[in-house]
C-alpha cells in the first residue's frame, strides 16, 4: 500500500509517494529534525541531511569492524 508524505521547503510543498512501511519510518525520522506541518528552512534540511550521513558513516564503520572480526574468527 502507498502512503504520501508532504514536506515544505522554502515555501514549496513536496509530496512523496512511498510504500507504507517505509513512509511510517521516514515520517518518524524526519519528525526528529524537521517539521512536516510547516515550512522548513534549507539550512535546517541540510543540517538534518548531514546528521543522517554521519549516522550512516558510523554504522558503516561498525559493520566494517564486525565484518573483519567475523573473517578473523572464521579463519582461525
Counting as low any pLDDT under 50, the low residues of the chain are none
Range of the domain at 62: 2-75
pLDDT score recorded for residue 19? 98
pLDDT at 75: 80
Instruction: Please tell me whether the overall predicted TM-score, pTM, comes out greater than 0.85 for this model.
Output: no
Task: Give the pLDDT of residue 58.
Answer: 98
As given in the structure block, the three cell numbers for residue 42 are: 534549507
pLDDT in the model for residue 12 = 96
Annotate 21-72 with DSSP letters as a single string. Answer: HHHHHHHHHHHHHS-SSSEE-HHHHHHHHHHHHHHHHHHHHHHHHHHHHHHH
Cell of residue 49, nine digits? 541531511
pLDDT of residue 74: 86
For residue 18, the model assigns a pLDDT of 98
CA distance 29 to 52: 9
* Structural domain total, the chain: 1
Amino acid at each position: 500500500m502507498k502512503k504520501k508524505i508532504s514536506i515544505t521547503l522554502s515555501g514549496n510543498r513536496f509530496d512523496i509517494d512511498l510504500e507504507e512501511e517505509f513512509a511510517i519510518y521516514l515520517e518518524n525520522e524526519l519528525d526528529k529534525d524537521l517539521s512536516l506541518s510547516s515550512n522548513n528552512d534549507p539550512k535546517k534540511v541540510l543540517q538534518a541531511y548531514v546528521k543522517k550521513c554521519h549516522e550512516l558513516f558510523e554504522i558503516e564503520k561498525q559493520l566494517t569492524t564486525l565484518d573483519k572480526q567475523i573473517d578473523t574468527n572464521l579463519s582461525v
